[in-house]
Amino acid sequence: MTSTGITSPNLTKTRISRLFERLRARGERALIAYLTAGDPSLDRTVSLVEALERGGADLIELGVPFSDPIADGPVIQRACQRALQAGTSLARVFDVARRIRQRSEIPLLLFSYLNPVLRYGFEAAARDAVAAGVDGFLLTDLSVEEASAYTPILRSAGLDTVFLAAPTSTDARLRLVAQHCTGFVYLVSRTGVTGERDALSGQLEPLVQRLRRVTTLPLAVGFGIARPDQAAAAARLADGVVVGSAFVRLIEESEGCPDLERRLEEFARQLKQAMAG
């Protein structure tokens, strides 16, 4: 229990929570890599995840493409369009997760907007996600104020529930985020959509401090982190660093290249090494 009386929810430990425990014991920070499933293809997504893991990625955010990704910048918007044109659906993302899980124990966090999950059927999605080896859900447009209608379904299935905390969040909302999160809390480093930026926001450190006062869960920072030096700076403040658009841009620029996996692996290694430094 924290000094504020807020406790972290008690679940059977998932791959996500076990990961952060291992890294914390070693004094390391988690590199969390986002990919849009199905970009450039569903088959290639499996090999790209393997490349990221070889490069040092500790956790994969597996993005479900959506036709109206309002929280994402142009790089991930284009990736969603390519993946949808390739026929990617939530059911096929589960199939990708299943194939990844046959070859790896890397934690998988499903990163989706709410609509695809509702269309699939919320309870069915939770059941099939667990069967495929998914460890948690992050539903970007699910308001934490409305989360109580959904989180019990996910938790009863054994899935972690991750929500976003932003610099503009009130203290009351941060407490609510802490209440509904398991696994870790995702800190949005700045206001706006996803995308690469030149520098970390000055809003980040105060946000980390505010979250530390209301939860003992690991904190991971995302939005705008694109370079090794930025990843290193974020790692000094938080328990994990999320990199998305920079990986997705590399995939876009290297589409059709036979050495895409090697390029992705090397970039992940550069980020992870910088975080260790």
Kindly state the tokens that stand for 109.
């966090």
Edge-to-edge order in the sheet of strand 164-165: 160-162, 136-139, 108-112, 59-63, 30-36, 240-243, 219-222, 185-188, 164-165
Q: Please indicate whether residue 72 is annotated as part of the active site.
A: yes
Q: Please indicate whether residue 68 is annotated as part of the active site.
A: no
Kindly state the tokens that stand for 101.
């899980």
The whole-angstrom separation of Cα 98 and Cα 116 is 19
Q: Which secondary-structure segment (H or E) carries 155? A: helix 151-156
Residue 3: what pLDDT?
36
- What is the residue type of 124? A
How many helical (H) and strand (E) elements, i.e. helices and strands, does the chain have? Answer: 12, 9
Q: Does domain 29-272 have CATH number 3.30.1490.20?
A: no
How many Cβ atoms sit within 10 Å of the Cβ of residue 125? 26
Nearest CA to 167 out of 205, 216, 214 is that of 205
- Residue 247 makes CB contacts below 8 A (sequence gap 6+) with 33, 34, 35, 52, 264, 267, 268
How many Cβ atoms sit within 10 Å of the Cβ of residue 116? 19
Strands 30-36 and 160-162: unpaired
In the chain, where the domains are located: 29-272
Residues in a beta bridge with 62: 35, 110
The whole-angstrom separation of Cα 267 and Cα 253 is 14
Nearest CA to 132 out of 11, 244, 46 is that of 46
The whole-angstrom separation of Cα 184 and Cα 170 is 19
The alpha carbon dihedral of 11, 121, 219, 101 has a sign of positive
Kindly state the tokens that stand for 48.
């790209």
Catalytic residue among 53, 61, 196, 261: 61
Question: What is the phi-psi region of residue 195: left when phi exceeds 0, alpha when psi lies from -120 to 50, beta otherwise?
Answer: left
Radius of gyration, alpha carbons of the chain: 17
Residue 177: what pLDDT?
97
Kindly state the tokens that stand for 46.
């499996």
Residue 13: what pLDDT?
85
Average pLDDT per 10 consecutive residues for the chain, totaling 277 residues: 40 88 97 97 96 98 90 89 96 98 98 96 98 97 94 97 95 96 90 49 87 97 92 96 96 90 98 95
